[in-house]
Amino acid sequence: MLYAVTGAGKTEILFPCIKWALEAGKRIAYVSPRVDVIREIAPRIMANFKIRYTIMHGEIKEQCDYTQLIFATIHQLYKFYHAFDLIIVDEADAFPLNGNQSLWYALAQVRSDRSTLLYMTATLSQDLKRLIRFEQVEVQNLLQRFHGYRLPNIQISVVGKCWKKALPFDIRQQFEQQKIHG
């Protein structure tokens, strides 16, 4: 499991792994519970790998091409059995995968006999925590973004009823300084 902050470059970190699998003739499924992730990730990855690929999700009605690399939502995995050597699950914490045993079963069923299953997440769901607790996955942490700057520490301020009419003075002052200094 690659557990990394948002914006850490999880997808790009996988490029050498994807390249190796493609060169070795392995079948790859890049899956996510969310359609928007598949739409965004496929072009980013395919800009670096010039091969035929297939995108599968509920909004695409055409017949599936059985290519070496498939980008799909988790539900599309029901169409396969022991089909993939490398399965990458992006946003493994997201709905509808989180808490859905049927979809977890589908993930297990698409694995070939000698497959690798890689989860990527910025948030640990209860399902992922269970995998860690029972030592079913090895976790790699990446707790900074690719540019190396520290993550911001969030500070919480209690704001009283004055909120109803205007922003508190110290918050207005911070906004003004932000405008001046960018």
Q: What is the pTM of this model?
A: 0.77
Helix, strand, coil fractions of the chain, as percent rounded to 5: 35, 20, 45
Domains of the chain: 2-142 (3.40.50.300)
Write out pLDDT tens, residues 128-175.
888 888 888 888 877 777 666 666 666 666 655 555 566 777 777 887
Write out pLDDT tens, residues 5-59.
787 788 888 899 999 999 999 999 999 999 999 999 999 999 999 899 999 998 8
Q: How far apart are CA 99 and CA 104, in angstroms?
A: 9
